[in-house]
Structure 1
Amino acid sequence: MRAESSAAARTGAFIAVAVALFCIQLDFFALNLAIPGISAELGVTVSAAQWTLSAYMLAIGCFFIVGGRMGDVFGRRGTLLAGTALFAAGSVGCALAPGLGPLVAARVAQGVGAAFVFPVAVSVITNTFPEESRTKALGAVFGVANIGTALGPFVGGGFTEGPGWRWIFWLMAPLSLLSLLVALVYVPDSRDTSASRELDLLGCALIVCSLATLTTAVERGDAWGWNSARTLGLFAVAAVTGGLFLVRERLTRHPLIDLRLFRNIPYVLVTAMGTLSNMGYGVTVFLATLYLQGVRGLSPLLAGTVFLAPALLVALSGPLGARLARHMPPTAVMALAGGLAGTGMYALTEVSAWWLYVPVFAWCGLGLGLGWTYSGVATQQVVAPARAGEAAGVLLTFMVTMGAIALAGAAAGISAMTPQRPPEEAYDAIMRLGGAAVLAAVAVVMALRHRLMARGRVAAVPSGPDRAP
């Protein structure tokens, strides 16, 4: 069922969704620079304080698919409201947390709320705006959200050095409440009318268990040891429950994920490139943070200021992707983004002078930001609007889960290399490897697309909801 698309509904939906996604992006990227402040105030180690990030990533990664499908089945408006309310409550809980345990619990609540908001927010726009303006609206929404990405490091560093890290969460609470109130008044409801109002609860349990154990093993593997019984046991549980989930989805009448989604070649290619771009973005931000503070000796506030240049171009990547989509098929836009990202990551390791480092960092941010931002727009172009939430949930799950694996791999690589070489050389080696991987993926995607076009299986020009890749 498509929502009523009055002008008021479209404006209200845009504001509610944009503010909600802005909060989620700002919250995540601000807290990275606040970890030392959290560690000092709560009297815990930096490693223990990292659980404030890990718990959030764990929760958000596990519930993307559930949240997206709940919106399609039970109604996107109600799911958006519930997720926004939970995120706001979690923000207040974080701000008031007396110790690490309550803070981590509140971060889990935030993560679950964000996991419901993100895929449903995308599908709300898809189902509220008509096809001729949908891509532009999605691009603008991601543009606003990416302003949060841009401001995150600056806000996190500024609050950590100023009034304290708790103010990051106090900022989230009223903004989330604003989004909630606007959504309550203006966002119309829509859902997949072809779907029964039944949720595959066993499928939900299996996918959450699989993703939770996988993410925990990846997050803690370096600390516990990759060959330890705990790490290997978690990987085994993740593999078994993941396999059972796939079997369940093939047999049940009302699957959480329609596995035929993966026969949609444009969707698979866009999801793969978006996931790789997000992995590159996470690793680049992580390595640049270590470089700026550990090698350059910058304070959190100054490091956050350096991040403004690439982050502002990330913010512009949403509208840019929407504009490019009018003239290029989705995978061509993704390949362009990958080309910019891969060359930018590699070039970043070759410069040290500030007058060159900052613009190259910005160039890198544009490519990576365009890649992971536009994938959210592109997947909505190549699936039916009725399954928009499901498609967005699957995409986001891949992006977050593989992003966590990439970060864990980068941390493990640094640990392995630093005894034999300076940290800066380890950072450069990992960055070059990431850039090469992105460029190789671009070549594979474009070669595959060319082959499919030669066989006549896809058209050369995009056209409608099932457009060419």
Structure 2
Amino acid sequence: MKRTGGMKIVLLMCIGLFVCMLDSTIMNITLPAIQKNLNTSLETSSWMLNVYTMTIAVLAIPLARFAEMFGRNKFYIFGLFVFGFGSALCGLAGNGDFLIAARFIQSIGAAILIPCSMVIGIAAMPLEKRTLPLTLLGATQGLATALGPTVGGLITEKLSWHWVFYVNVPICLLAIVGAFLILTIKRESRVTSKIDWLGLLFSIASLFPLNLVLIKGNSWGWESMQAIICYFITIVSFGLFILVEKKSKDPMVNLNLFKDRLFTGSVITVTTGFIFLIGVMVLLPQFLTNFQHKTELQAALLVTPVSAAIFVFSQIAGLLTKKIGYTWPVIFGFGVMGGAYYLLHNLNLYSSSKEIILLCSLLGLGFSFVISSATIASTSSFEGEMLTASQSVFSMLRQVGVVLAVAIFVAGLTNNIQAKKQEVVHYATKKLEKLDIPEIVKTQILSETKKSINSQQLTHTNEKQVDQEIGQSGNMVTIYRNQVENYALKTISLSFADLYRASIPFVLISSLTGIIFGVRKKKPAKSFVNTTAAE
């Protein structure tokens, strides 16, 4: 690298990391507009979101390894080009299948950029000065992830959903120009080793079905034949991957990484932290738009305090971690996130904007301590190939955490909503029994009510037809319908609060991950010897 200043390189890497992590959540609020414009099915729309996260999780490790072998800086620039090209294609998409293909191309660029950004940025500073770049890079991850829905809402409302993707193109072009000016391209160091083809095969074979079942489990059924096949392939492939890596002279992943307690603690912490962050960032905007009837922009602005808190407190968290170690910042971070979940368990139709802002601020504050500690610990005292391996695994598990969050929270919310719908049907049946109308009409009304509840379109009950059949008793039906509609809205909306209430113990238990770090001095850098690099 050209010695034009380590911080210039770090800031350049923050740009690549920012656009990639931003796009992991930017479609959450934009998706309804895309679905309407392209007239896509729910299945197709879900893949527009999931193909991005899934590809990063599967390809981060092999692509990071290739970057070591062929040059990190070259790969970083190549990643920017692929990501920008994929983003342009996404904006040009005229149908759902084309958008999925474009998102796949975009995600290949992201799978290159995320680990490369971390490794190049960290390596730009001496070992004793890593805290600052690590804190900046960690804050960028959390900030971009949390900021995604806000940016998506703003762009979609003020411009169009196409610009959610187009905006990446000039950013990538500027970053490419900056990379050519700042980074060493022609004679950069690279690792001389062979490609571990078996490791590559088994890593993909274990991660792909794992991510697939997490994404499709709700629709397939977690005990369905498709799910069981995915479990089997994942377990067998993972076992074979471990065996191959232990015997390989040039492994895809150096398993010695997991002998380091700091690194092991970091991957557990970041995976868990992202589960609880995404669990709010994906579902809370849906609650605000569907039940409190906020606009997409209003919902986006209400969750913005998460991003603001991460931006403000990450630097403080990084400095504190450097002074007192990892244990207490991690415990504090999860404890504060637990406080945010406690406030979320009171979420209802009448929750004020102040309450939403407060809980989002607490969530961002807690997560800033979690992500800063985990990011700093993830490097331990690694250098060279070990540093690249650590960041590729770290990136992969972070994305697995995102997929896990969506799977767990969406499944939990789906089950809660189904249970609440049954409560509404029971309530509607009891109310209907009290109406002085013919039994045949009661049967018809109850049937329509059930259909309306299942489709969550209670206002579409066929009131006119009922009125014609029962004459002046139609007023009773109007009152009944309004009562059921109000009860349904209030009851089903509590599905979110119940989900977060059930999550509180798990958030607090996660604070125990801080104990993994213990209280010990870091291993010296010489404990992790690099393999020979060639010019």
Task: Give the TM-score normalised by structure 1.
Answer: 0.90
Cα offset for 1:158? 2.1
Q: How many residues align?
A: 453
Cα deviation for residue 180 of structure 1 reads: 1.6
Give the deviation of 1:113 after TM superposition: 1.0
Q: Is the CA contact (8 Å cut-off) linking 1:150 and 1:315 kept in structure 2? A: no
Q: Report 1:325-340 matches (<5 A).
A: 325-340=321-336
Partner of 1:59: 55
176-185 or 433-442, larger mean C-alpha shift: 433-442
* Structure 2 CA distance for aligned equivalents of residues 48 and 160 of structure 1: 20
Aligned with residue 224 of structure 1, among 216, 220, 241: 220
- Separation in structure 2 between the aligned mates of residue 65 and residue 111 of structure 1, nearest angstrom: 14
Does structure 2 retain, via aligned residues, the 8 Å contact 1:23–1:145? no
Is the 2:268–2:513 Cα contact (8 Å) retained in structure 1? no
Determine the structure 2 residue equivalent to 1:18: 14
Deviates more, 1:62-71 or 1:172-181: 62-71
Which letter maps to 2:213?
Answer: A
- 1:21-50 Cα shifts (integer Å, max 9, x gaps): 121122222211111011101111234212
State the Cα deviation string for residues 147-187 of structure 1 (Å, max 9, x = none).
53454222211222232111011100110111122112212
Q: Which amino acid aligns with 2:173?
A: L
Name the amino acid aligned to 2:509.
Answer: A
Structure 1 segment 107-256 matched on structure 2, within 5 A: 107-144=103-140, 146-188=142-184, 196-256=192-252
78 and 444 in structure 1: CA distance in 2 versus 1, 3 angstrom threshold = closer
Residue 383 of structure 2 aligns with which residue?
384
Equivalent residue for 1:367?
Answer: 366
Aligned partner of residue 253 in structure 2, secondary structure: coil
Q: Deviations over 1:266-292 (max 9, x none)?
A: 111121111100111111112212221
Instruction: Write out aligned runs for 1:306-455 (5 A).
Output: 306-350=302-346, 352-421=351-420, 422-443=491-512, 445-446=514-515, 448=516
Contact 1:143 1:316 in 2 (8 A): no
Is residue 296 from structure 1 mapped to residue 292 from structure 2 by the alignment? yes
Name the stretch that deviates more: 314-323 or 266-275: 314-323
Alpha-carbon contact 1:19-1:145 (below 8 Å) kept: no
**Aligned-pair CA distance for 1:9:** 4.6
TM-score (norm 2): 0.79
Kept in 2, the 8 Å contact 1:79–1:116? The answer is yes
1:342 CA drift (Å): 2.0
Q: Shift of residue 95 of structure 1? A: 0.9
Mapped to 2, the partners of 1:91 and 1:137 lie a distance apart of 27
Cα distance change on mapping 1:174 and 1:219 into 2, 3 Å: same
C-alpha distance in 2 between matches for 1:387 and 1:192: 15
Mapped partners of 1:269, 1:342: distance in 2 = 19
Structure 2: give runs of 5+ residues left out of the alignment.
421-490, 528-535
Moved more, 65-74 or 90-99: 65-74
1-side partners of 2:138 and 2:383: how far apart?
A: 20
Query: Which whole-Å CA distance do the structure 2 matches of 1:327 and 1:463 have between them?
Result: 17
Structure 1's unaligned 5+ residue stretches are: none
Is the Cα contact below 8 Å between 1:64 and 1:119 reproduced in 2? Answer: yes
Match of 1:93 in 2: 89
Distance 1:372 1:432, change over 3 A: farther
Task: Indicate conservation of the 8 Å contact 1:65/1:394, yes or no.
Answer: yes
Q: 1:213 to 1:191 in 2, by over 3 A?
A: farther
Judge which range, 172-181 or 155-164, deviates more. Answer: 155-164
Higher gyration radius (CA): 2
Q: CA deviation at 1:350?
A: 3.0
Q: How many angstroms apart in 1 are the aligned matches of 2:101 and 2:37?
A: 18
Higher mean C-alpha displacement, 50-59 vs 38-47: 38-47
What is aligned with 2:45?
Answer: 49
Output the CA distance in 2 between the equivalents of 1:140 and 1:292: 31
Distance verdict in 2 for CA 1:387–1:71, change over 3 Å: farther
- After superposition, give the CA deviation of every residue in 1:425-462 in whole Å (9 maximum; x if it has no partner): 3222322333321211223542x555xx5xxxx34xx6
Higher mean C-alpha deviation, range 19-28 or range 368-377: 368-377
Percent of paired sites with the same residue:
22
Offset, 1:381: 3.5
Match of 1:257 in 2: 253
Q: How does 1:68-87 map to 2 (within 5 A)?
A: 68-87=64-83
47 and 293 in structure 1: CA distance in 2 versus 1, 3 angstrom threshold: farther
Equivalent-residue separation in structure 2 for 1:367 and 1:385 (angstroms): 31
Q: For residues 51 and 333 of structure 1, what CA distance do their matches in structure 2 show?
A: 36
The amino acid of 1:431's aligned partner reads Y
Distance in 2 of aligned mates of 1:164 and 1:171 = 11
